[in-house]
Amino acid sequence: MTTDLASPSVLLIYTGGTIGMIRNPETGALESFTFEHLTRHIPELKQMRCRIDSIQFNPPIDSSDMTPALWVKLAQIIYDNYNQYDGFVVLHGSDTMAYTASALSFALENLAKPVIFTGSQLPIGVLRTDGKENLITAIEIATSKRPDGTPSVPEVCILFQNQLLRGNRTTKANAEKFNAFKSHNYPNLADVGVYINYYTRRILHRQAGLPLKPHFLFDTNVIVLTLFPGIQERIVTEVLKTEGLKAIVMKTFGTGNAPQREWFVRAVREATQRGMVIINITQCLSGSVDMKRYENGRQLLEAGVTSGYDSTVEAAVTKLMFLFGHGYPPEEVRRLMNQSLAGEITLESDLPLQQEATLDL
């Protein structure tokens, strides 16, 4: 890799995923390969006018094997190398990329440099791979500066094909297409074409000069419960009483509605009174929870359920793990779930800005 110290610099962190996989000739399955394999297949990296160093997970993993312990490892790598690089590119399998990007958006408080996640649907060695373009574009974005010399995108993002998305707003929406990710409730931070168009007003503005404050604790006593017509009392009540469980991300209908059955509302109320944090997010792909809109939502509010606004599942789960990891009591967790820590939810006060941002698409 280039070693010109005056050039912009990027640290490439290779965790695994399809981008670096190779087909096992005997089984036909895709298996992880090393970082050298990547660079061999993308000689263009040498032409980029920046210093690229790399670190790789050993062994590289399929992102289905990602864990909070590995999120912490990633946060530690970024923290340890923070002053040496202009930006960071994390190569990661797409399957759980949105979880890791969300977790890091909370773990890296006061982040003032780009952390760009990318990967691919086809391995680098394959002729039609999307990995090459994704990697090169991610490096360009990670080292891009505004005219005043500050980074163009000082946040945790996901770059896939031609879209730069806020990491904690993103969901994997397609298992096959190159455009695998969607951010249903927040507009793109940049569009990639002949030029990379950054939408500066959509990008997080942090208070300047604050040191990066990493967080290394996640509490996994969290579960996702998706409601559906016919869901059984026995199963719901068992889940709500699970020993040690601290929080539930409840995926409800429409704007945050749930059955009005007496047993359901009672079980929810008893759980929240015991200190369980229940976050209401919608099963719809886009839009926000508003529990005051229908009686079926209002009863949840009265039973102590907390709105998750327009959060993705990935952001709600990782934020709960992060907040409980800090040892906050349930009341404080509920209060912070209703605040935007890293741009992960749209509060009513943010709406005018978001609508305006959507207009300059």
As annotated, the active-site residues are: 18
Size of the site for ligand ASP (CB under 6 A): 10
DSSP string, 103-134: HHHHHEET--S-EEEE--SS-TTSTT-SHHHH
Of residues 13 and 279, the one with the C-beta less far from ligand ASP = 13
Task: Output Rg (C-alpha) for the chain, integer angstroms.
Answer: 21
Interface residue with ligand ASP, options 119, 256, 297, 308 (CB under 6 A): 119
If binding is defined by CB under 6 A, does position 62 make contact with ligand ASP?
A: yes
Establish if 18 lies at the interface with ligand ASP (CB under 6 A).
yes
Distance (Å, rounded) from C-alpha 303 to C-alpha 125?
A: 54
270 in contact with ligand ASP (CB under 6 A) = no
Query: Is 350 a residue that touches ligand ASP (CB under 6 A)?
Result: no
Alpha carbons within 13 A on the beta-carbon side of 74: 32
Helix ranges, the chain (H): 35-41, 68-80, 97-107, 131-143, 233-240, 262-273, 295-302, 313-325, 330-337, 351-359
Residue closest to ligand ASP when measured from CB atoms: 93
C-alpha of 9 from chain center:
24
Q: Check residue 95 for interaction with ligand ASP (CB under 6 A).
A: yes
By C-beta, is 95 or 314 nearer to ligand ASP? 95
Nearer to ligand ASP, 3 or 64 (CB): 64
Question: H or E stretch including 173?
Answer: none
Q: Positive or negative, the Cα torsion across 264, 265, 268, 273?
A: negative
Please state the closest distance from residue 20 (CB atom) to ligand ASP, in A: 9
Asked whether the beta carbons of 177 and 128 are under 8 A apart, the reply is: no
Question: Measured from the CB of residue 128, what is the shortest distance to ligand ASP in angstroms?
Answer: 15
Q: Residue 286 carries which side chain, given as an amino acid letter?
A: S
Q: Which is nearer to ligand ASP, 60 or 325 (CB)?
A: 60
Q: Which two tokens stand for residue 5?
A: 């110290």
Q: Which is nearer to ligand ASP, 89 or 267 (CB)?
A: 89
160 vs 285: CA distance, rounded Å = 19
330 is a site residue for ligand ASP (CB under 6 A)? no
C-alpha distances (whole Å) from 234 to each of 54, 122, 264, 267, 280 are 51, 43, 10, 10, 21
Is residue 94 close enough to count as binding ligand ASP by CB under 6 A? yes
**Candidate ranges 87-95, 98-106, 191-199, 351-359; the one touching ligand ASP (CB under 6 A):** 87-95
Verify binding: residue 17, ligand ASP, rule CB under 6 A.
Answer: yes
Residue number with CB closer to ligand ASP (62 or 109): 62
SS3 content of the chain, % helix, strand, coil (to 5): 35, 20, 45
CB 29 to ligand ASP: min, Å: 11
Judged by CB under 6 A, the stretch of 13-21, 130-138, 265-273, 309-317 that binds ligand ASP is 13-21
63 touches ligand ASP by CB under 6 A = yes
In the bound complex, what is the minimum distance in angstroms from residue 201's beta carbon to ligand ASP? Answer: 31
Q: Considering only the stretches 74-82, 92-100, 132-140, 282-290, report the one whose residues sit in contact with ligand ASP under the rule CB under 6 A.
A: 92-100
Residues in Cβ contact with 67 at an 8 Å cutoff, skipping those fewer than 6 apart: none
Provide the 3-class DSSP secondary structure of residue 306. strand
Using the contact rule CB under 6 A, the part of the chain among 88-96, 302-310, 323-331, 336-344 near ligand ASP is 88-96
Position among 8, 87, 93, 330 found at the interface with ligand ASP (CB under 6 A): 93
Closer to ligand ASP by CB, 8 or 93: give it: 93
CA distance 245 to 239: 9
Residues in contact with ligand ASP by CB under 6 A are 16-18, 62-64, 93-95, 119
